[in-house]
A and B are shown apart, each in its own frame.
Chain A
């Protein structure tokens, strides 16, 4: 199906951050940026989500939570790390309780740098994630068909 990319639903999770990126993510949904015009819906529920958008780093407390939420998302799914903290741990990296970026616990597909990440670059990241989402789905289909042929 070619229309998978037209309906990317986001799950936004905020790790250990200063909340700057979160505000920017929310800004994307305001009339100025209106991310819904791409069909993006900001769900609060992993069961409905296609794109896992994480802001902020991973600490010892939210490590399990992030893993669990990731496991509750149905395939195909894309992980998007937004902001420097989510990409690498950022300014908090050396703290005693910080493990680092999101990729220390789950596989990240797309990195959106910036402190805080600009709404434009977040939307850009989301659009990239969307095409990856479509590609992942097509690969899955191919694999399934291949299995059938055997």
Chain B
């Protein structure tokens, strides 16, 4: 996915929306900036397919050697796909956070929530200020 076309949580999760069979599907991952801050990841926990997520609440977590960071969902909906094997290939996540590093796909319950998220420019600005 192109970072410019994505929406962002202030807590560094990105979301891109695709359509599939008339359903709106949100693809969710974390940004390159977050990965750099976290340093080398050693572990990741993602939810199971079927889990309900809501915007602003935790759907999983990533760990480095000395820190734990919760992953916050940017959207409401139900998890329809989880990136299999990503947890065992954390290098893949670091190499391509906006593509091969996607984490979960969520069937959107309410796409109005997307409007409350940051766009690319605003997110970049936030990172520059931190």
Q: Do A and B come from one complex?
A: no
Q: B interface vs A, CB < 8 Å?
A: none
Q: A interface vs B, CB < 8 Å?
A: none
